[in-house]
Structure 1
Amino acid sequence: MPVNRITRARTRASVGLTVAVLAVGAAVGAGPAAARPATATAQQRTGTAAAADCGAAHRIEQKLAGGTTWRMCWRYDSKAGLVLEDVSYRSKGEPAPIKVLNSARLAQIDVPYDDGSVEYDDLTGFGFAQGLVNLAPGECPGGTITTVRVPDAVDPDHADVKGLCTTTRSRGHAYRMQGNSANTVFQAQGKDLLVYTVNQVGWYEYLTEWRFQDDGTVHMNVGATGSLSWDDYDAGDGRGWPIGKGAKAYATSHSHNVFWRLDFGLDGSSKTKVEQYDSAVTAPARGRQAPTNKTTRTRVTKELGGDAKTYRWWRIVSAAGKNRDGHARSYEIVPGPTTRYPGRAFTRHDVYFTEYEACELFASNNPGCPAGAPRSVDRWVNGQALTHPVVWMNVGFHHIARDEDQQPMPVHWQGFSIAPRDVTAMNPLTPGELAGQNGHWRPRS
């Protein structure tokens, strides 16, 4: 029989939480959360979701052109950097905001070099959070840049950084429909709330970007830019790429394994469920014109390290609420392009579902749990029942340098999305003329 990794009593007594940031500069609609206590709160011990209670200076709130309003709190952690909490949205026609996430944060950036010379755990070992940089006004067009106090700053006298951008950005068509006639065309241009920071670690600068769409979709991306560390690691043995004239200045190839940690709180409850869907395509049956495709659902009731593959996907399902059609609200995990790194046990799966533990915050070299506890996400998967699942997403990128990576290096992105599935009964952006077409279609006059 599997046992808990950490006894609950010991967790309560031992877990220390990072002190969060206090607001320094004035900002409209954005700011850091209040300081966290030195020990776990009752909410954190039980895993229950509380209503967002950050003040105006600690809240991000944005109503987008399509009528959807996103709300969340934020704080700045001494290792994870930007942490978003109590994330909810309310689309037009919904009577109240719908809670989505208790918290969302980066959980590690693991960077092993192909020649085996070094491996960096940028969040917990190499000062990611302390590398927050000042943003120029032109980097946050139409938005607000908020001053953040960086905990454990290298220079305490320069710990106040204009480092958080909140703005909106167009993404093109949200939908378009003209049906059988071009007399009436329904179309809308989508808008996103964009929240981001830039953190410098050595030669690299990481753009940590959170995009909240007006249709309820959330995109999480990390973009790496800055400079190649070409003069430190000159690999000419097949593990590098020449970026100087001729066969010179070989930049060492390396991987960026980025982890995110998502704690869902759908409908205000952490007791969500995990489901996996797989589809199988078979040859056409007699009398059929095309192959058949059967989709099966598997309830994930115990901790899991999962691998993405064709026709497989997962969703996180609310146990507390349904939409107006009576369907359980859920969010689907949508992986982005990835190169899974086989060199470490904790990077060998695309997604992990673990049972909530307050001290388990980083996917590798996790520093916060009691002495002797496992320190990486792969070792937390030990058969515990999932009553409050936490999602760990791993997206890898194998960086083989090129001449165009200098100078400076163009941004290369990696990330994933979560998409609403039955959160609302219809498209949150449905125009009023089509609001009566829920579950059926009728021709327009």
Structure 2
Amino acid sequence: MRVNRISRARSRTAVGLSVAALAVGATTAAGPAVAQSKAAPAAAPACSTAYKIEQKLSTGTTWRMCWHYESEAGLVLENISYQPKGEAQPIKVLTSAKLGQIHVPYDDGKAEYDDLTGAGFGQGLMKMAPGECPGGTIKTVKIPNAWDPQHPNVNGLCTTTRSRGHAYRMEADTGNKVFQTQGKDLLIYTVNKVGWYEYISEWRFQDDGTINMNIGATGSLSPGDYDAGDGRGWPIGTGAKAYATSHSHNVFWRLDFGLDGSSKNKVEQYDSVVSPPRNGNEGPTNKTTRTKVTKELAGDAQNMRWWRVVSDTGKNKDNHARSYEIVPGATTKYLGRPFTKHDVYFTEYKQCEQFATNNLLNCGAGAGKSVDKYVNGQTLTHPIVWVNVGFHHIARDEDQQPMPVHWQGFSLAPRDVTAMNPLTPPELANQNGHVENGS
């Protein structure tokens, strides 16, 4: 779904605005988190009321954060904290979270775009109608260095809540009662138009502490891209005359963790290996090993491999270090460029490294412009996490008109953030650990 050339040509005039846009965004954003003592509570969001989001869900969990808007990256969420019932203070999770790039190469090799830093993603914020934000509030966003300076303000940021179905279900031991709760989420999203694309950037904060980050692509198939042949396109419409060109959507997210208010988080990788039965065992064995990631890493998802970011200062009530696990979503890895060949990157914090490709800020002589170049052996003391999720879009008749949303994304799952399920009913609050032994 290639965007129209007029929009692309226009975007080139905005390239020089990035540094200014980041500076504008910084006026409503807090700086990097400062390490706190273990006894110190997580700081409240440092922003004015207009840029603050606070939502207590009906199940008792409260999410708090600040937001601002950047010229290229669009919506940025900052100082994100999570407070389930039973926790006296908010638990700081992320210092900042935003899109790092949307890279769109076409299968015929004739076009390749960086939609954030080369095509005006942030400038394309769309006005939402009330029906697009059911039960919620649409906030006004001022676009920095707006291409249309007469209309910089757009009613384009939705915050709302939504049910997601069962959070859990368990029949009591006595068989005469069922414990169940319907989960609730805080949703925050924008719609950004890039030519024929319309991207829905969704951030979903669950009442159990999980964070879901998704991009939904919708809009129209580009009417100028029906010139592909077999193997590089798909016939759309009557017969087999017009082939819509296939392409990839490689979406990057940039995450700056600040667990428990400290930027000094640790990264760990876990791998499990299944071995055949031996020593008279009935089944195979499975052993999981931990590897501490102490230096910058370009990581590849493999079977039974996962990563977590671990707090350096905070522990839950069971005395276990708080952490968040990175849970990749479905992906189609694009092997055409070095920066898309890996699923996750852990890099040492550097203020100028803001975009995964076509980075517009000056990082000095010889510095790379893409995330693969940021990985150069530095020790991780303040890790930045970049997650890459790809989707190969081979169009179909059902993609017109308009095109149904196709989603791609990943999750951050709490691991030992609380001592028990934060939605545990009071009747089961004593069932922590080895219940049979009463421990």
Q: TM-score, normalised by structure 1?
A: 0.90
Instruction: Tell me if the contact between 2:225 and 2:245 (Cα under 8 Å) persists in the aligned partners.
Output: no
CA distance in 2, matches of 1:184, 1:440: 22
Which residue of structure 1 aligns with residue 40 of structure 2? none
Q: How far apart are 1:231 and its partner, in Å?
A: 2.4
User: Which residue of 388, 392, 400 corresponds with 1:394?
Assistant: 388
Which residue of structure 2 aligns with residue 18 of structure 1? 22
Instruction: Tell me if the contact between 2:21 and 2:70 (Cα under 8 Å) persists in the aligned partners.
Output: no
Whether 2:427 is the aligned partner of 1:433: answer yes
Which residue of structure 2 aligns with residue 192 of structure 1? 185
Instruction: Tell me if the contact between 2:28 and 2:51 (Cα under 8 Å) persists in the aligned partners.
Output: no
Whether 2:49 is the aligned partner of 1:56: answer yes
Taking every aligned residue pair, what percent have the same amino acid on both sides? 72
User: Which residue of 267, 271, 279 corresponds with 1:278?
Assistant: 271
Bigger shift: 434-443 or 364-373? 434-443
Which residue of structure 2 aligns with residue 120 of structure 1? 113
Which residue of structure 2 aligns with residue 340 of structure 1? 333
In the TM superposition, 1:68-87 aligns within 5 A as: 68-87=61-80
User: Which residue of 399, 405, 425 corresponds with 1:405?
Assistant: 399
Q: How far apart are 1:99 and its partner, in Å?
A: 0.1
The amino acid that maps onto 1:252 is: T
Q: Which runs of 5+ in 2 are unaligned?
A: 1-18, 37-42
Which residue of structure 2 aligns with residue 253 of structure 1? 246
The amino acid that maps onto 1:87 is: I
Deviations 1:311-358 (A, max 9, x none): 000000000110010000000000000001000000000000000001
User: Which residue of 413, 419, 439 corresponds with 2:413?
Assistant: 419
CA distance in 2, matches of 1:314, 1:16: 35
In the TM superposition, 1:304-315 aligns within 5 A as: 304-315=297-308
CA distance in 1, matches of 2:28, 2:48: 12
Instruction: Tell me if the contact between 1:16 and 1:368 (Cα under 8 Å) persists in the aligned partners.
Output: no
SS at 1:343 equivalent: coil
CA distance in 2, matches of 1:247, 1:350: 36
The amino acid that maps onto 2:407 is: W
User: Which residue of 151, 155, 159 corresponds with 1:166?
Assistant: 159
Q: How far apart are 1:48 and its partner, in Å?
A: 5.7
Q: TM-score, normalised by structure 2?
A: 0.91
Which residue of structure 2 aligns with residue 376 of structure 1? 370
SS at 2:116 equivalent: helix
Instruction: Tell me if the contact between 1:84 and 1:105 (Cα under 8 Å) persists in the aligned partners.
Output: yes
Whether 2:309 is the aligned partner of 1:295: answer no
Q: Please provide the CA RMSD for this pair.
A: 1.8
Bigger shift: 282-291 or 96-105? 282-291
Instruction: Tell me if the contact between 1:47 and 1:388 (Cα under 8 Å) persists in the aligned partners.
Output: no
CA distance in 1, matches of 2:271, 2:100: 27
Deviations 1:217-262 (A, max 9, x none): 0000000000011423521242111102101221000000000000
In the TM superposition, 1:344-359 aligns within 5 A as: 344-359=337-352
Instruction: Tell me if the contact between 2:94 and 2:256 (Cα under 8 Å) persists in the aligned partners.
Output: yes
The amino acid that maps onto 2:370 is: S
SS at 1:340 equivalent: coil
Instruction: Tell me if the contact between 2:21 and 2:72 (Cα under 8 Å) persists in the aligned partners.
Output: no
Task: Give the 3 Å change call, closer, same or farther, for CA 304–47 of structure 1 in structure 2.
Answer: farther
Deviations 1:89-117 (A, max 9, x none): 11111110000000000000000000001
Which residue of structure 2 aligns with residue 228 of structure 1? 221
CA distance in 1, matches of 2:292, 2:426: 37
SS at 1:289 equivalent: coil
SS at 1:130 equivalent: helix
Instruction: Tell me if the contact between 1:108 and 1:124 (Cα under 8 Å) persists in the aligned partners.
Output: yes
Deviations 1:60-93 (A, max 9, x none): 0000111100000000011100000000011111
Q: How far apart are 1:440 and its partner, in Å?
A: 2.7
Task: Give the 3 Å change call, closer, same or farther, for CA 219–35 of structure 1 in structure 2.
Answer: closer
Deviations 1:184-228 (A, max 9, x none): 111000000000000000101000000000000000000000001
Whether 2:125 is the aligned partner of 1:132: answer yes
Which residue of structure 1 aligns with residue 379 of structure 2? 385
CA distance in 1, matches of 2:210, 2:135: 22
CA distance in 2, matches of 1:359, 1:196: 26
CA distance in 2, matches of 1:35, 1:173: 37
CA distance in 1, matches of 2:241, 2:189: 36
Q: How far apart are 1:16 and its partner, in Å?
A: 6.5
CA distance in 2, matches of 1:181, 1:438: 19
User: Which residue of 214, 236, 240 corresponds with 2:207?
Assistant: 214
Aligned residues, how many? 413
Q: Which runs of 5+ in 1 are unaligned?
A: 1-14, 22-32
